[in-house]
Amino acid sequence: MPSQKRTEPVVLAVSSGGGHWTQMQRLAPAFSGAQIHYATTDASASEQVAGRNFHVFPDANKDTPVRLLLCALSLAWIVVRVRPDVIVSTGAAGGFLAIRIGRLLGARTMFIDSIANARSLSASARLALNVADRVLSQWPGVASKAGAEYRGAVI
């Protein structure tokens, strides 16, 4: 069966809830012309992207190893189903996991660290430095100190 050629890039935008989600929403204009899929930990956020592809995964962090495993499995399923060309994340752990999984499937990836990390990169961003195509900090001093890039602030 011949595969259908996509006419627009597929972007998977992954973030935890709260401030990470708010920052992702501020990036929405950058996804113009792409087929966008949002993935977050907060099911109620679907109201903010009505009519868009929306996925939910369990929230987790390094202190919740069982939930972290469930988060990774859920994100693996999302990435395999969506088959994104690009994965963009504003954090946190789930964003790093999606990027890690996406890289295995050939997706281009970008991790944008939270503006709240004004002194150093988050743990997820530090991990992403070794995996993602691009890691951005929203603070020039943090970017230069950590080996990330600075391209401005989302907020």
Q: What is the DSSP string of 50-90?
A: TTSEEEE-----TT-HHHHHHHHHHHHHHHHHH--SEEEEE
Whether 1 shows a pLDDT value over 70: the answer reads no
Is the entire prediction scored with pTM above 0.75? yes
Task: Assess if residue 5 is contained within a domain.
Answer: no
Domain count, the chain: 1
Its domain, for residue 32, covers 25-148
Using CB atoms within 10 Å of the CB of residue 154, give its burial: 0 to 12 exposed, 13 to 18 middle, 19+ buried.
Answer: middle
C-alpha count within 13 angstroms, C-beta hemisphere, residue 77? 10
Q: What is the CATH number of the domain that holds 62?
A: 3.40.50.2000
Average pLDDT for the chain: 95
Residues 85-124 pLDDT 10s? 999 999 999 999 999 999 999 999 999 999 999 999 999 9
Residues 132-147 pLDDT 10s? 999 999 999 999 999 9
